[in-house]
Amino acid sequence: MPAANRLGAEGDGFHIAMAALDGGRIGIAAQALGIGAAAYEASVAYAHERKSFGVPIGQHQMVQWMLADMAVALEAARMLTWRAAWLKDQGAAFGTESAMAKLFAAEAAMRVTTDAIQVHGGYGFIKEYGVERHFRDAKITQIYEGTSQIQKLVIARHLLQERAA
């Protein structure tokens, strides 16, 4: 390739590609967060309107616990995502933090959307309620820009390099 067509110095291609992935992981974390938030909001609304045993299902302890777990997971994912984005904006190293945000947000989105289907019961599987779509959309966030397993490798490698230094 002619030098005029390079994005960086010769031999820097891998580092440039990895930096692009690091930034993209923040976007995937934000996407996962949005998917999870939509499923959570639908579940809270449904818990108010659906009744069982004469009361809204939101008054049942197990539904309350699922909603609480959803809220906590989403808030933690939000904080990790914001931190990674802030580090990137500051021009600081953010590769490990973007991997953490992407990993946690994708896993949280899967847990939240799984619980959303549970809250909705049989209606969780039909398209009219939308949570089945959120569930399907959440799954891809565990896969692209590096699978959840790859994020764990990225994080662990950084931690081990940090410890060795």
Active site residues: 145
Q: Token pair 């992407």 is at which residue?
A: 102
> How far apart are the C-alpha atoms of 63 and 65, rounded to whole Å?
5
> How far apart are the C-alpha atoms of 129 and 144, rounded to whole Å?
26
Nearest CA-CA partner of 111 in 99, 119, 101: 119
Amino acid at 42: A
Contact 113, 141 (CB under 8 A): no
DSSP designation for 54? T
Left (φ > 0), alpha (ψ -120 to 50) or beta: where does 56 sit?
A: beta
Q: Token pair 């089945």 is at which residue?
A: 132
Total residue count of the chain as it appears in this document: 165
> How far apart are the C-alpha atoms of 40 and 135, rounded to whole Å?
11
